[in-house]
Amino acid sequence: MGVLEKREISRSLFSNLILLSPFFKGRLGGLAGNMGTHCSFSRGIPPFSWNTILSLMHMGSRRCLPKIRQSGWFCMKDISSRKLRSTCVSLLNLKEKGAGIEMVQIDIPIAFALGQIFADAARKQLLTGRPEYYFSALAKNNLFHIFFFSWIPVYFLVNYFGWETTHMWWRKDVVTDYPFFLPVFLIAFFFSANSGFWLSTFLIRKGKFLFVRASYAGIFLYSFLWVFGLWKRTSYLGSYKEWAQGTAKRAWDTSGGEPFLYMLFFSIILWFAALVFFIIILRAEGKNLILKGDKRKSTE
């Protein structure tokens, strides 16, 4: 492998490490502390050891990026030169936003997954092609989301805004500081719930019901990883300011009559019980249906 190829690999590797560095900074200080604290690199090829890689990530996130940021768009410094090269990356002011992956809250993806679950539970009805079965299942999907799901995130947005948004994006104290937040959230929530049902109905009628199941299983896995992977955020109540200052109390702290924990368990139990009830109803409705081309009654 020639020198130029090695340099290209080095530059590509470093660029990707810089992208990942905000997610690991703070954890790698001990490993990288002895590598120096300034952003300068020799013209040679750095050794590819884990200590060097971790140190580069640390130095890049702490020193290099703030110095060369240019209105949200900036170019990486080449490892082998102090001149700016062509590797350009779009990042959104990582230092001001804080470390961590910032995404929409999990309620909307879960609403999509539940729409898929309702379609899967009504699979036999949907395969008949009869509109009354389709609209009956769709109505049950919306009834569940109206009475047993939608009010749960709204309650926590109103009363525990920082926790419900994982102390990300929205840094004001209460949801009313964002006048359009709740209307936009509810529109997105119900659109997601119905989109999951519509898309899954289409896939089920194409015979791809296993893809539907894999999809909603993946969403629930993502939600689980979100909650426990961001435990330092999801386990604290209070506003973003309190969380950032380290004064937010733990979610399980019920001192002062804090109802959070009780409301959380109550809503989860009610949500799960209602979901099981609707699934049983839909499965029972489709149990004795005879599908097209099937001469026997289904016993599934």
Q: Are residues 144 and 256 in the same domain?
A: yes
Give the pLDDT means over successive 10-residue stretches in the chain (300 positions): 47 42 39 36 38 41 41 39 36 33 68 98 94 96 97 92 82 86 94 97 94 96 89 84 82 78 94 98 87 48
Strand blocks (E) in the chain: 73-77, 84-90
Q: Are residues 44 and 193 in the same domain?
A: no
Q: What is the pLDDT of residue 115?
A: 98
User: What's the whole-model pTM score?
Assistant: 0.63
User: Which residues are CB-contacts of 257 (< 8 A; sequence separation ≥ 6)?
Assistant: none
Q: Are residues 91 and 149 in the same domain?
A: no
Specify the number of domains making up the chain: 2
85-115 burial code (b ≥16 CB/10 A, e <16)? eeeeeeeeebeeebebeeeebbbbbbbbbbb
Cα separation of 276 and 114, whole Å? Answer: 11
Q: Are residues 28 and 111 in the same domain?
A: no
Q: Are residues 93 and 179 in the same domain?
A: no
Structural domain harbouring 227: 107-287
Q: What is the pLDDT of residue 292?
A: 52
Q: Is 92 inside a domain boundary?
A: yes
Q: Are residues 81 and 124 in the same domain?
A: no
Q: Are residues 78 and 204 in the same domain?
A: no
Q: Are residues 212 and 68 in the same domain?
A: no
Q: What is the pLDDT of residue 270?
A: 97
Q: What is the pLDDT of residue 290?
A: 63
Q: Are residues 46 and 190 in the same domain?
A: no
Q: Is 128 inside a domain boundary?
A: yes
No. of helices (H) and no. of strands (E), the chain: 15, 2
Cα separation of 65 and 76, whole Å? Answer: 8
Q: What is the pLDDT of residue 78?
A: 39
- Pair 221, 155: CB distance under 8 Å: no
Q: Is 296 inside a domain boundary?
A: no
Select from 79, 97, 115 the last residue of a domain: 97
Q: Is 282 inside a domain boundary?
A: yes
- Residue 220 class from Cβ within 10 Å (0-12 exposed, 13-18 middle, 19+ buried)? middle
Q: Are residues 79 and 120 in the same domain?
A: no
Q: Are residues 135 and 256 in the same domain?
A: yes
- Pair 76, 87: CB distance under 8 Å: yes
Cα separation of 181 and 164, whole Å? Answer: 13
